[in-house]
């Protein structure tokens, strides 16, 4: 009797396991793909069922490296190179977003490699910010925001440059409203400390060791940090 029960139970168990696995796969709309090219930190080309598709990673944005009208932005190359090393030529799975495509015809989705979501990895490493949050593609937004908050606290990647990554995007200069250097600025080649007033009205100075030094368009130049502080400027946060 016991042997008969085991014989009857085992097929039923296998059937339930199969259903559970299928349900888990379907809930994520996972599609197998092979990466043929990484365009930049948040865009890649893949082969799906013999057809090449462009995928735009959902809910994340990385600094520009290939934009036709924007310069290469800080940490853009790091994000692009990280994705190339991680994904080029690799087999991945794609969780396709609701609605699937954006206005450019690109597939919207989350990419997985070795059971890790690439979107999350970029956020963890400070190579991307949470962005382009539009219903109904907000499935992981709470988790993404939590990961980003941790990266901000650790000041990794894009978060190591004060006022660089914002809700509106990445600032190409630390004072975008003033594209030209102050015409009244007196420049002394021996004085290299840059003073800048950010969009919040904060006076900040940047030394040549500051990660955002090259981005800064000065509104004042100082020879020493004490001189900058005397003028009401504080050191940039790192």
Give strand pairing partners of 94. 31, 111
Q: Which of 64, 78, 95, 162 is an active site residue?
A: 64
CA angle 150, 102, 76 (to 5 degrees): 45
**Integer Cα distance of 217 and 54 in angstroms:** 37
Quick one: pLDDT at residue 174?
47
Per-residue pLDDT for the chain (238 aa), expressed as one digit of tens each? 555 444 444 444 443 343 344 334 345 679 999 999 999 999 999 999 999 999 999 999 999 998 887 788 999 999 999 999 999 999 999 999 998 899 999 999 999 999 999 999 999 999 999 999 999 999 999 999 999 999 999 999 999 988 899 998 998 654 444 444 455 555 566 788 888 887 667 888 888 887 777 767 788 888 888 888 878 888 887 6
Q: What pLDDT, on a 0 to 100 scale, did the predictor assign at position 223?
A: 87
Q: Are 129 and 157 in contact (CB under 8 A)?
A: no
Distance CA 134, CA 207 (A): 39
141-179 burial code (b ≥16 CB/10 A, e <16): eeebeebbeebeeeeebbbbbbbbbeeebbbbebbeeee
Among 53, 78, 95, 106, the active-site one is: 106
Q: What is the pTM of this model?
A: 0.68
Q: Assess whether 225 carries a catalytic annotation.
A: no
At residue 25, the pLDDT reads 39
User: What one-character DSSP code corresponds to residue 173?
Assistant: S
- Indicate the DSSP class of residue 44: E
- CA–CA distance, 107 with 97 (Å, rounded to integer): 8
> Cβ distance 213 to 221 under 8 Å?
no
2 catalytic? Reply is no
Catalytic member of 53, 56, 78, 162: 56
């Amino acid at each position: 009797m016991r042997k008969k029960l085991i014989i009857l139970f085992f097929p039923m168990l296998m059937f339930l396991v199969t259903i559970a696995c299928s349900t888990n796969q379907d809930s994520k709309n996972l599609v197998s793909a092979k990466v043929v090219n990484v365009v930049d930190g948040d865009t890649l080309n893949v082969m799906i069922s013999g057809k090449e598709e462009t995928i735009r990673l959902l809910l994340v944005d990385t600094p520009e490296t290939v934009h036709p009208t924007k310069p290469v932005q800080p940490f853009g190359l790091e994000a692009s190179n990280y994705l190339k090393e991680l994904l080029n030529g690799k087999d991945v799975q794609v969780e396709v977003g609701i609605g699937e495509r954006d206005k450019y015809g690109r597939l919207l989705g989350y990419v997985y490699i070795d059971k890790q979501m690439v979107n999350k990895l970029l956020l963890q490493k400070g190579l991307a910010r949470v962005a382009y949050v539009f219903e109904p593609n907000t499935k992981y937004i709470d988790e993404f925001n939590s990961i980003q908050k941790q990266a901000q606290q650790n000041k990794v990647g894009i978060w190591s440059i004060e006022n660089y990554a914002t809700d509106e995007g990445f600032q190409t200069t630390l004072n975008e409203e003033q594209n030209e250097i102050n015409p009244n600025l007196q420049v002394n080649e021996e004085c290299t400390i840059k003073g800048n007033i950010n969009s919040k009205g904060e006076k900040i100075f940047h030394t040549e060791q500051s990660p955002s030094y090259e981005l800064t368009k000065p509104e004042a130049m100082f020879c020493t940090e004490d001189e900058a502080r005397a003028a009401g400027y504080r050191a940039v946060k790192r």
